[in-house]
Structure 1
Amino acid sequence: MSILCIGQAVYDLTFPVNETLIENQKYRIPERHECMGAPAANAAYLCGSWGAETALLARIGNDLFGQEIVRTLKTGNVDPSLLYLDQEQATSISSIVVNKQNGHRTILNSPMKEQAFPINSPKKKPTTILVDGHELNAALEVINHYPEAVSIMDAGTYKPELAELIQAVDYLVCSEDFAYQATGIKITLEEKEQVKEVFKQLRKLNSNQLVITIGDKGCLWQDQETIQHFPAFNVEPVDTTGAGDIFHGAFAFCMDQKRSLEETIALSSAASALSVMKIGGQTSIPTLDEVTSFLAENS
């Protein structure tokens, strides 16, 4: 088995604050935290550190941030050989402000400009492919080249130009924001018919398996004609950065192990819950043993 993650790799600089920021003021943040980030990169790190044979297909710049991303991936047992070293652009970085009172984060991302780039074949045929919506050409090329692989999309934001990719994947695992942007309907769990309508409209975009993550309310998925709800675990958040990335990474790991969808969602939810109790994205990824123990204690 082999997992291939395709998309964005970013270097994160996180600044925890305990007050409302006011324009034209200076703030000293002694607790600065930095680590690798972005959906595909964080998911790849989780899968590799959990013992799956994993590679990341992404772009980085020829700079110190790019070098640090490569170093981090290696510590997580992720194959970095598919990374494209862009000589013309700087590595994508994010400045993240975390509200210490509730753990909520605000992200300022400076991305690399989207462009086609040469794609190397992975050393081993992937059995599971996770895409995050970035590097669209590469994602479509790989999914079409390995049609037998289970494909999963981490769909955080709805963009019409991603229609072909959205339709192509076996599992569309989207955020509440994506669902609202695509359907115009706000999800209210108590409104059963409203939730059914959201799934009905999303099925026009992807007729395969749908999962919707709804933050601290858990997630929804459809089991035949029945919509199921898995409540979120009750934890005290420190930093929500990367929680979705970690959910999707655990989801890909479980799919690669051929676990049931219900078990996959439970384990992914537990991994995500544990992650928000620590600061940072990649640095908050729990071990598989930690997640398994947490699930046993919170069954």
Structure 2
Amino acid sequence: MSIFCVGQAAYDITARVDEDIVPDQKYRLTTHTECPGAPALNGACVCGKWGASSYLVARIGEDACGTIIKNQVRSCGVNLDYLLDAPGVSTSFSFIVANGKTGTRTIFNFPSQSIEANVRFPEEAPDVILCDGHEPEATIAFTKRFPQVAVVVDAGTCCESTMQTACVSDYIVSSRAFVEQYTGKSLPQDDEGIVEVLHALGEINPGCKVAVTLGPEGLVYLEDNELVRMPAFPANAVDSTGAGDIFHGAFAYGLSRGLSFADCLTLGSMTASISAAKMGSQRSIPELDEVLDALEAHGIAIAGLR
């Protein structure tokens, strides 16, 4: 099982504030959490932590944040042999405010410079490619080199780079924000309207499978052209930072193990639910056994993962 995660890596500094932030106020914070983060990185850490051959394809600078990221990502079992070669680039970092009352978060990201990067490829084809839209050139290069490999896109926001990767993906697992930005209107509540939206997403790359994650409302997808609403698992959410990334990492892991689309979504949903109960992104990734135990407590058994 080899999974290549292509996209963004960052260093996250997260502080918890148990109230809504308002202008012209001072908030005195006594604790904070620091750890690696960003979609591709978190996805790679899920897969590596769960025992897959996980590879991160991202730009990480030769600076203090980059050194910390590399050490901690390697400790999750992630291989860094295929990092993007972009000399002089600085490591992306984020300031994050987590609302402990609602479990929501606000992210202030400082991205790496858009320096042209050299892409390196493995000799053997991966089993799965997970992309987040932040490195479209690298993603497209991988899909051209390995055209038969299953590609999953973590479609968080509808921007040009995410659309480029979605157009070459076999699985588009998007957020509500992506859908509403793509369609230009709020996500419908009725079944017929949601089915139309899912079909519209499927037209981005005809033949792909699509699902839309809705946070505490669960997710929706089509099974044999019929709408399925999957409820969210209960979560004592304190920080949703990285929950979506971790969802997609679990989804990609399940795909590499030959799980069905529905089982991959179920695995991702429970993993994200558990992660939201902890502060930080990469630090909140649960062990696979913890996820499987939680699923079994809900009467759900996914064969072949023990």
Class of the TM-score when normalised by the shorter of the 2 chains: over 0.9
- CA–CA separation in structure 2 for the residues paired with 1:291 and 1:257: 16
Q: Would the alpha carbon gap of residues 11 and 202 (structure 1) be closer, same or farther in structure 2, given more than 3 Å must change? A: same
Structure 2 counterpart of 1:76: 76
- CA–CA separation in structure 2 for the residues paired with 1:72 and 1:284: 13
Report deviation, 1:161. 4.7
Structure 2 counterpart of 1:110: 110
Cα deviation digits, residues 247-269 of structure 1 (max 9, x gap): 00000000000111111111110
Structure 2 matches for 1:26-175, cutoff 5 A? 26-84=26-84, 86-122=86-122, 124-175=124-175
Unaligned runs of 5+ in 1: none
Structure 2 counterpart of 1:180: 180
- CA–CA separation in structure 2 for the residues paired with 1:198 and 1:48: 34
Report deviation, 1:200. 2.4
Structure 1 counterpart of 2:302: none
Q: Taking structure 2 as the reference length, what is the TM-score of the superposition?
A: 0.93
Moved more, 287-296 or 112-121: 112-121
Moved more, 191-200 or 32-41: 191-200
Cα deviation digits, residues 67-108 of structure 1 (max 9, x gap): 011001110010011123544232100000011211110000
- CA–CA separation in structure 1 for the residues paired with 2:100 and 2:244: 19
Q: What amino acid sits opposite 2:5 in the alignment?
A: C
Moved more, 220-229 or 15-24: 15-24
Structure 2 counterpart of 1:12: 12
Q: Would the alpha carbon gap of residues 2 and 161 (structure 1) be closer, same or farther in structure 2, given more than 3 Å must change? A: closer
Q: How many residues align?
A: 298
- Residue 245 of structure 2 corresponds to residue 242 of structure 1: no
Q: For the Cα contact (< 8 Å) 2:18–2:99, is it kept in 1?
A: yes
Structure 1 counterpart of 2:205: 206
Unaligned runs of 5+ in 2: 300-306
- CA–CA separation in structure 2 for the residues paired with 1:91 and 1:150: 29
Report deviation, 1:206. 2.4
Q: What amino acid sits opposite 1:36 in the alignment?
A: P
Q: For the Cα contact (< 8 Å) 2:134–2:161, is it kept in 1?
A: no
Q: For the Cα contact (< 8 Å) 2:18–2:101, is it kept in 1?
A: yes
Q: For the Cα contact (< 8 Å) 1:62–1:85, is it kept in 2?
A: no
Structure 1 counterpart of 2:267: 267
Report deviation, 1:123. 5.9
Report deviation, 1:224. 2.2
- Residue 205 of structure 2 corresponds to residue 196 of structure 1: no
Q: What amino acid sits opposite 1:203 in the alignment?
A: G
Q: Taking structure 1 as the reference length, what is the TM-score of the superposition?
A: 0.95
Q: For the Cα contact (< 8 Å) 1:8–1:39, is it kept in 2?
A: yes
Structure 1 counterpart of 2:284: 284
Q: Would the alpha carbon gap of residues 160 and 86 (structure 1) be closer, same or farther in structure 2, given more than 3 Å must change? A: closer
Cα deviation digits, residues 91-133 of structure 1 (max 9, x gap): 1000000112111100000101234311122364311100000
Q: Would the alpha carbon gap of residues 20 and 175 (structure 1) be closer, same or farther in structure 2, given more than 3 Å must change? A: closer
Q: For the Cα contact (< 8 Å) 1:2–1:127, is it kept in 2?
A: yes
Q: Compute the RMSD of aligned alpha carbons.
A: 1.5
Residue 279 of structure 1: SS of its match in structure 2? coil
